[in-house]
Amino acid sequence: MDTEIDSLAALEEAIGHRFADRALFEQALTHSSAVAPSRRTAKSYQRLEFLGDRVLGLVVAEALIRRFPKANEGDLSRSLNAVVRKESCAAVARELQLGEYLHLGDSEARSGGADKDAILGDVCEGLIGAIYLDAGIEPARRFVEKRFEQWLSIGLAQRGDAKTTLQEWAQSRGLEPPAYVEVSRSGPDHAPEFTIEIALEGFAPVRALGRSKKIAEHEAAEQFLVREKVWKKTS
């Protein structure tokens, strides 16, 4: 037990929040498969995930309003969707190595649950919900703005979904949809970095890096649109 407490203390240090209610912290790391069916609602992270998803959306929406003062409602909605997504939550969970701290049932653990995007994304939201219940909105805001800064920056710069815009642009010119090719993957499993290349007939390829394939694809699409002057370069 002391070893587990020390381990959680190290995770708290990485998170940047010391829990007053340690039971909340442990609940945020407990998958439903590790709990008896009659206790799953009370003891797993499911309810915390529900709350954390809303807290994440609120904090990101507030950040967009503050940092993007000239955006209209449609721009804000597209930017929000670019930030608050399962891929970004899973990437944050991997950076924090939350998979190593997860309580999983035997079957889920054997099937690699600690490395599944769906579970990692959920546990990240559960953690945000736990921070909020433990100490309120300010610690939750600090966590989100620090850990989701990369996606906030991407979301703020986007004038829509870059991949969708590029596909529509290509189709309007009678071209096949662009292909996204994984060129390389580097870094440790908990914090990988992907290089993605866009191939589009008649155009020089574009490469971009990202902490997930999705992020790298969107970054490459945005760079392509800027290069071809479909979008203006943002400051």
Interatomic CA distance for residues 22 and 7, integer angstroms: 13
145 is catalytic: no
Q: What is the β-pairing status of strands 206-210 and 179-186?
A: unpaired
Which residue in the list 125, 134, 217, 219 is annotated as catalytic? 125
Distances, alpha carbon 220 to alpha carbons 8, 88, 159, in Å: 37, 17, 15
| Residue at 151: amino acid letter | W
Handedness of CA 202, 163, 233, 173 (dihedral sign): positive
Which residues pair with residue 185 across a beta bridge?
Answer: 194
Residues 6+ apart with CB under 8 A from 148: 56, 60, 83, 88, 92
2 is catalytic: no
- What the block records as the tokens of 158 is 């986007």
Q: Which residues are catalytic?
A: 53, 125
